[in-house]
């Protein structure tokens, strides 16, 4: 099958089983008069945040001395010193983790 072949009903059905539960979670938390477009925009941001949190969790639990947290709280993740990576902690603050 090529990338540009039309999707089958089964493929769309499987994708909708993944998509709509996530959409419903975000939509339930939206204001009453929001549109579907509004929900989709917010959903994109929420999913990006979820991916960042997942990556931070993976880094925070990484083996081999990667858990060396500095006491310094960063204003911006781009401010992480050389040889470190910025991670969003459970308390919602960016911290630098060294190798």
Verify that 74 and 46 share a domain, yes or no.
no
Are both 73 and 55 inside the same structural domain? no
My answer on whether 13 and 43 are in the same domain is yes
Cα–Cα distance for residue pair 59/76, rounded to 1 Å = 18
How many distinct structural domains can be found in the chain? 2
Is pTM beyond 0.85? Reply is no
Dihedral angle over CA of 80, 82, 84, 88, nearest 10: 10
pLDDT, tens digit, 9 for 90 and up, residues 56-92: 887 776 655 555 556 678 888 888 887 788 888 888 8
| 94 and 70 part of one domain | yes
**Whether residues 46 and 4 fall in one domain:** yes
- pLDDT, tens digit, for every residue of 15-60? 999 999 999 999 999 999 999 999 999 999 999 999 999 988 877 7
The reply to whether 44 and 79 lie within a common domain is: no
Q: Are residues 25 and 37 in the same domain?
A: yes
What residues make up the domain containing 68? 64-99
């Amino acid at each position: 099958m090529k990338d540009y072949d039309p999707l089958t009903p089964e493929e769309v059905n499987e994708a909708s089983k993944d998509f709509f539960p996530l959409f419903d979670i975000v939509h339930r938390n939206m204001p009453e008069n929001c549109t579907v477009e509004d929900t989709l925009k917010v959903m994109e941001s929420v999913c990006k945040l979820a991916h960042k949190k997942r990556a931070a969790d993976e880094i925070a639990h990484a083996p081999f001395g990667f858990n060396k947290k500095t006491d310094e709280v960063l204003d911006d993740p781009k401010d992480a010193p050389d040889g470190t990576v910025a991670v969003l902690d459970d308390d919602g603050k960016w911290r630098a983790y060294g190798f």
